[in-house]
Amino acid sequence: MSSIVIPSLQPHLRFPSSQETPQRSRSRVGFVSIRPIYATDGVSSSSSSSLQVPQRIVSPPEPTKLPLRKVPGDYGPPMFGALKDRHDYFYNQGREEYLKSRMLRYESTVYRTNMPPGPFITSDSRVVVLLDGKSFPVLFDHSKVEKKDLFTGTYMPVTELTGGYRVLSYIDPSEPDHAKLKQLIFFLLKHRRDKIMPEFHSTFSELFETLEKDLAAAGRAEYNASGEQAAFNFLARSLFGADPVDSKLGRDAPKLIAKWVLFQLGPVLSLGLPKVVEELLLRTVRLPPALIKADYRRLYDFFYKSSEAVFEEADRLGISREEACHNLLFTTCFNSFGGMKIFFPNMIKWIGRAGVNLHTRLAREIRTAVKANGGKITMGAMEQMPLMKSVVYEALRIEPPVPVQYGRAKKDLVVESHDAAFEIKEGEVICGYQPFATRDPKIFDRADELVPDRFTGEGEELLKHVIWSNGPETQSPSVQNKQCAGKDFIVFISRLLVVELFLRYDSFDIEASNTPLGAAVTVSAAVTVTSLKKASF
């Protein structure tokens, strides 16, 4: 197995922080321009004053002569319209057919409808839906939209589920707490960055060994449960220097997190239960937070005991250690672990289905680059893998891990689709469904297919339309926007997974189906590995 160089005395791995907007350097492979994950020679101050930078604002579209059209669609009778639409969304049609059927009915990618959960979890389920790649970016323009309390949709989970605090994901950049809490998350992502590569290698090597043993014993190996355990172990070991297996958490974290997330997202989840049961259990009243108080406390205690270095930064930023811990838990368990739980099996699914030809190309590219860098996985080696990088971006494009984004119009504004312009009034809630935007056939050729080389060469220009992170891939997170603080972290570890996979195996076969949990929020693949062909060249 190839060894790993830890980038500690060499250039440090940097994940975007609010201290600066780095100059985007570009590596060259022949005439192919590759956008890297950055490296820097030093660690800058963690003080709040050093973390302020001018933010590059997403510019509004240039004025056009598109016809101004009234937003089509309606909400139906009060309450009953929302209930009918909820039944269509969950039971009669399913999410994508629900959205697509109305798009065809109104002959528009912008229209009015209701989005769940509706009565009685929320009093107002009315939204303006955006379903194309041109209109969607208005949700990133914080001069036009507000994200306060809209992270999960038209409702917000009770704060008892997060220690009584509104955590960062629900706070708009205009609110005073946003900057300091996001600065804290940036610090979390960078203060142990030299541990990320070795801990990923160690943890996922354990995962591959488990899959190999299961495959040898049963002829099949279920990825998801083992993958979720590996994901949490990696995050805990790399970011907090703590091994959950050696703590009171043991191996319970993934199931504790799943229960906790259910209490937050239950109103917009489908569990595959009979309609009457789901309506009564999930969408009539909220699940009582007291039922998972003890489970949440186990997670909280683990993070509290493992976060001393981050707490020292919280002290400097004026954040109480209690509030900091609830935010660290949410960021790690809901955002980072949740992203890995959803995206990793989905990416494996798409690469697995692509077949031996792509696998061979990836293996050859990855092994050649690693060999040219002394047989070690380094940042420089990974920059010499344009196909690998493109495949990761393509997986993020075709099946973004968080498909729905919300915002509330701060003022009257005009939103443009490819065909028309639409007036949206101040206070109206806007809902963008990312998979339709990132599979927009007017932007992407063969939009519903995984095209491995899509983002190589001139195709790199299309990265501005890859918007999985609540912002375009060509923009960096900052304290002044709502783009995912861990955007480049998730991209980087996704690349690491592909690199580790094809250093170890020539090819693999999988079976995949959609898991019932999350069918109404995001599509998560249940992946079964049916063969692993070990590296032969």
Render 250-267 in DSSP notation, one character per residue. TT-HHHHHHHHHHHHHGG
3-state secondary structure of 220: coil
> Of 527, 530, 483, 439, which Cα lies nearest the Cα of 227?
527
Task: Report d(CA 46, CA 54) in Å as an integer.
Answer: 17
- Classify residue 471 by its DSSP letter: S
Binding site listing: 484
The answer to whether 530 and 212 are in contact (CB under 8 A) is no
Q: For helices 356-372 and 338-354, what crossing angle results, to 10°?
A: 110
List Cβ neighbours of 69 (8 Å cut-off, separation of 6 or more).
108, 420, 421, 422
Radius of gyration (C-alpha) of the chain in whole angstroms: 23
**What six digits make up the tokens of 393?**
């971006």
CA atoms within 13 A on the CB side of 384: 17
Task: Report d(CA 20, CA 22) in Å as an integer.
Answer: 6
Task: Report d(CA 348, CA 354) in Å as an integer.
Answer: 10
Q: Name the helix (H) or strand (E) containing 489.
A: helix 487-504
Binding site listing for heme: 484
Task: Report d(CA 341, CA 334) in Å as an integer.
Answer: 10
Q: Name the helix (H) or strand (E) containing 69.
A: strand 68-69
Beta strands of 347-420 (E only): which ranges? 376-377, 404-409, 413-416
- Which letter, b or e, does each residue of 319-342 get, where b requires 16 or more Cβ atoms within 10 Å of its Cβ? bebebbbbbbbbbbbbbbbbbbbb
Residue type, 310: V
The answer to whether 271 and 278 are in contact (CB under 8 A) is yes
Q: Is 290 left (phi over 0), alpha (psi -120 to 50) or beta?
A: alpha
**What six digits make up the tokens of 148?**
């306060």
